[in-house]
Amino acid sequence: GCYFTKFTRDLCTKAGITGWVKNSKQGTIVGKMQGPKDEVDKMINWLSTKGSPGCQIEKCDLRNMGTLNRLDYKTFEIRF
């Protein structure tokens, strides 16, 4: 594999983004991110255009984007 979830977790943690990421049964990556808008925007760009070394981005489907009064997560984790 290309360790997409690990790279995502590490980059989000470094950027102060909280939430989670996991591999789906359909062979895709799903997750939730919360944090400073500029950092989330940078992460969206990474997720949709670059990704981890060796991966191939075919599509990036973003949903439920909005502004939060408070974060729902304290850390960024890989779920299984």
Q: What is the CATH number of the domain that holds 8?
A: 3.30.70.100
Task: Please spell the DSSP secondary structure of 17-64, one letter per residue.
Answer: -EEEEEE-TTS-EEEEEES-HHHHHHHHHIIIII-STT---------S
Domain count, the chain: 1
* pLDDT band at 29; cut points 50, 70, 90: very high
Q: How large is the angle between the packed helices 37-45 and 4-15, nearest 10 degrees?
A: 160
pLDDT at 22 over 80: yes
Domain range spanning residue 68? 4-78
What pLDDT sits at residue 46?
Answer: 98
* Percent of the chain topping pLDDT 90: 96
Return the pLDDT at 57. Answer: 94
Predicted TM-score of the model (pTM): 0.92
pLDDT at 1: 73
